[in-house]
Chains A and B, each alone.
Chain A
């Protein structure tokens, strides 16, 4: 059969951000995929070198519009490690709270996008409507719906008042109820299952070899979650287990994300119960002593990795960011090869790709 090469991207309705996949297909079967990145490259790693640490944190927050808190948090943790600062306990809990709220909003966003990719627009509309609940909570706590600017080097910028905490508890109850419903729809609606079951299978061995991270790896039964493997912030005091699935297909990734949403709601509620009193930040010096360090955080999409080398001035000498989407591309190529052309968009979407993260 004749081979046909067609592009998905850089401009394509299935992709919300520009990135190029050249798919070679024989009939309806994908035989080869070529990825080209860089369509939203903003040279953030280089831009950080020309800015001081405080500015750098804001620049890094703009790597991603969805998991922005994780980026500023990871950056701050790396710099705090270089400064040997001990962050107040309350700030650690608040960081976890915002991170988990962000996870809820990101996973709900993903569920809507995934439903849209397979043509199930009703679920998409419903999920995104209820995502507004968590967006409102984030806006109430940080003042913004995206790019919260919540973390600062040495703590957090804003405190949580008791009134806010009450509103959070209420909002989380609504979210739990709605997520319960979406879990039921996503795991029982037969025409949806037809499109996700057995699609884009990634075996456990492949997931390990190709370095998959986040829900993509956990859906292939790799229990790797930076929150529990390398606990940071308040996570050492919170006792949870990584959520895994042994399905390895798009359905597995859906289930993992939905269950993680529940887990995030649990964590938020526990954080609100256990939130210690006290300061929310300590003063940080603008000059950072010479050295190098590494920080790992679990973003909604997987592990975020920062490497920072300082040269003793107020500007870093090297900032390296590894985002989860970039780590998941080799696994995505493996999933796409041999798949149906019709399944390509949902397979690409199933890793919850963030092209801005990928390119930086």
Chain B
């Protein structure tokens, strides 16, 4: 049974399906906002299959063992983190005290994967992209982590299921700590390297940044890494700020019945898609920033407000 959980549902296979669907949803929303038709529903799957079947080129000067393993490493980290975000109930199978920290840690790994990718490929665009990944990491990572920890401080637990229980009893954290919610969304944009923070792989400047030299299978894995990270990030934020499986009135009405997990599951999926929708709107509405502008913006509009938010939580909590 644990093997089924890990591999099929809600594990790796479901994660892939959900990630591909989220990618389609994102592309379609952006396309409609840009007055375009957008791709058909199977496009992300077709892209992945096509990339997987393409020739896998490794540049002559690249470090072969590293180049071969690093993309797998990134996808594995994201897939592992997905096990700890509750998909339909607050009594989550894999939950343990401190799982929030583990998920945050695992979600940082893709950034390091990109750094290693750029570092071990002999491409100048890769080197510049690597520099930008690291610089950008300093911009968003601290506020993102703090934004997710703010509810944890309020609920006084490092366990995601405890945060869910807290939201069941009180309000959703998006209402209790709205600043943290907004900062978490902005941080997620930075983590996923989407417009306006798609600086590390800005197409018109440095081609694909660290991923410039990667083709075929490896590129497919990297693409999947980003789309799964989108889903994990969206589900995580949905769980921490939007109550996860909790729906006002409905959850109470169906509690204990056989449909309760189904309702919870649908609630999580819809909330995650809502987060993806927010990301798509941000992508369609904004221009890419420059790396120096991005770091300055993150310090003033992310780090500073989130510190105030935490201060507020600590003061209110101690009273």
Judged by CB atoms under 8 Å, the answer to whether A and B touch is: yes
**When the two chains form their complex, are residues A194 and B293 in contact, meaning their CB atoms are under 8 A apart?**
yes
Check: B176 CB closer than 8 A to any chain A CB: no
Q: Are B285 and A122 in contact (CB under 8 A)?
A: yes
Cα distance A113–B303 when bound, in Å? 34
- Tell me if B63 counts as interface (CB < 8 A to partner A): no
C-beta contact mask, A191-224 vs B, less than 8 Å → 1, else 0? 1101100000000000000000000000000000
Is the Cβ of B288 less than 8 Å from the Cβ of A119?
Answer: yes
Q: Say yes or no for A183: interface residue by CB 8 A criterion.
A: no
Which range contains the number of B residues in contact with the other chain?
A: 20 to 34
- Given A118-B287, A120-B288, A195-B287: A13 and B127 interface contact (C-beta under 8 Å): no
Chain A window 110-139, contacts with chain B (Cβ cutoff 8 Å), 1 for yes, 0 for no: 000001111111100110010000000000
- Taking a contact as CB atoms closer than 8 A, the residue among B128, B195, B288 that contacts A4 in the complex is B128
Task: Give min CB distance, B227 to chain A, whole Å.
Answer: 19
A109 at the interface (CB under 8 A from B): no
Q: Which residues of A contact B196 (CB under 8 A)?
A: 119, 191
A25 to B131, CA, bound (A): 13
Tell me the complex Cα distance, A12–B128, Å.
Answer: 15
Stretch at the interface among B53-61, B102-110, B203-211: B203-211
How many residue pairs link A and B with beta carbons under 8 A? The number is 78
Choose one: B34, B288, B293; the contact of A126 (CB below 8 Å): B34
Instruction: Tell me, yes or no, whether A249 is within 8 Å of chain B by CB.
Output: no
- Known interface pairs A14-B204, A120-B286. Does A28 touch B124 (Cβ–Cβ under 8 Å)? no
Complex alpha-carbon distance, A116 and B198, angstroms: 13
Which of A4, A194, A345 is most buried by chain B, counting CB atoms within 10 A of its CB?
A194
- Which of these, A5, A25, A126, A192, contacts B287 with CB under 8 Å? A192
Residues on A with C-beta less than 8 A from B198 are 119
Chain B residues with Cβ under 8 A from A121's Cβ?
Answer: 34, 195, 284
B125, B202, B203, B284: the one within 8 Å of A122 (CB): B284
**Does A46 sit at the interface, judged by CB under 8 A?**
no
B124–A5 touching, CB < 8 Å = yes
User: Is there an interface contact between B288 and A116, defined as CB atoms closer than 8 Å?
Assistant: no
CA of A217 to CA of B36, assembled, Å: 35
Q: Does B33 contact A (CB under 8 A)?
A: yes
CB contacts (< 8 Å) of A327 on chain B: these are: none
Residues in A with CB closer than 8 Å to B288 are: 118-120, 195
Q: Are B205 and A14 in contact (CB under 8 A)?
A: yes
With A and B bound together, what is the CA distance between A115 and B288 in angstroms?
A: 10
Q: Which residues of B contact A6 (CB under 8 A)?
A: 124-125, 128
Pick the interface stretch among A63-71, A146-154, A272-280, A335-343.
Answer: A335-343
Q: Out of A4, A117, A194, A340, which one reaches B124, CB within 8 Å?
A: A4
* Min CB–CB distance A130 → chain B (angstroms): 10
A344 at the binding interface (Cβ < 8 Å) = yes
- B291 contacts A342, CB within 8 Å? yes
B307 at the interface (CB under 8 A from A): no
Q: CA of A290 to CA of B16 in the docked complex: distance in angstroms?
A: 75
Interface string of A308-346 (1 = CB under 8 A from B): 000000000000000000000000000000001111110
Q: A6-B125, A194-B289, A342-B202 are in contact. Are A119 and B207 (CB under 8 A)?
A: no
**Closest residue of chain B to A118, judged by CB?**
B287
Q: How far is the CA of A191 from the CA of B238 in the complex (A)?
A: 27
| Chain A residue contacts of B47, Cβ below 8 A | none
Give the residues in chain A near B124, CB-CB below 8 Å: 4-7
Is the CB–CB distance between A120 and B287 below 8 Å? yes
Query: A1-38 vs B: 1/0 string, CB under 8 Å?
Result: 00011110000111000000000010110000000000
Shortest CB distance B22–A (Å): 19
In the complex the two chains form, is B289's CB within 8 Å of A345's CB?
A: no
B199 at the interface (CB under 8 A from A): yes
Q: What's the nearest-Cβ distance from chain B to residue A359, in Å?
A: 22
Least CB distance from B121 to A in Å reads: 13
Judge if A189 is at the interface, Cβ distance under 8 Å.
yes
Assess the A343–B195 pair: CB atoms within 8 A: no
Contact A342 B35 (CB under 8 A): no
Chain B contacts with A in 216-242, Cβ cutoff 8 A: none
Whether the pair A125, B36 counts as a contact (CB closer than 8 A) is yes
Q: Shortest CB–CB separation between residue A8 and chain B, in angstroms?
A: 9
* Best-surrounded residue of B199, B202, B205, B293 (most CB of chain A within 10 A): B205
Residues in A neighbouring B285, C-beta threshold 8 A: 122
Bound form: Cα–Cα A118–B285 in Å: 13
Q: Are B34 and A342 in contact (CB under 8 A)?
A: no
| CB atoms of B204 and A117 under 8 A apart | yes
Give Cα A5 to B125, complex, Å. Answer: 10
Most chain A Cβ neighbours within 10 Å, of B196, B199, B292: B196
Whole-angstrom distance between the Cβ of B287 and the nearest chain A Cβ: 4
**Chain B contacts for A115, CB-based, 8 A:** 287
A171 to chain B, nearest CB (A): 19
Q: Which of B205, B207, B293 contacts A341 (CB under 8 A)?
A: B205
- Hey, which chain A residues are within 8 Å of B34, CB to CB? 121-122, 125-126
Could you write out 12 A-B pairs with CB less than 8 Å apart?
A: A7-B124, A117-B204, A119-B204, A119-B287, A120-B286, A122-B33, A125-B36, A126-B34, A189-B287, A194-B289, A194-B290, A195-B290
Give chain A's interface residues, CB within 8 Å of chain B. Answer: 4-7, 12-14, 25, 27-28, 115-122, 125-126, 129, 189, 191-192, 194-195, 340-345
Q: Which 6 A-B pairs have the closest CB atoms?
A: A119-B288, A6-B124, A120-B287, A125-B34, A14-B204, A191-B287
5 extra interface residue pairs, beta carbon distance < 8 Å, beyond A119-B202, A120-B286: A5-B124, A14-B203, A122-B33, A122-B34, A122-B285
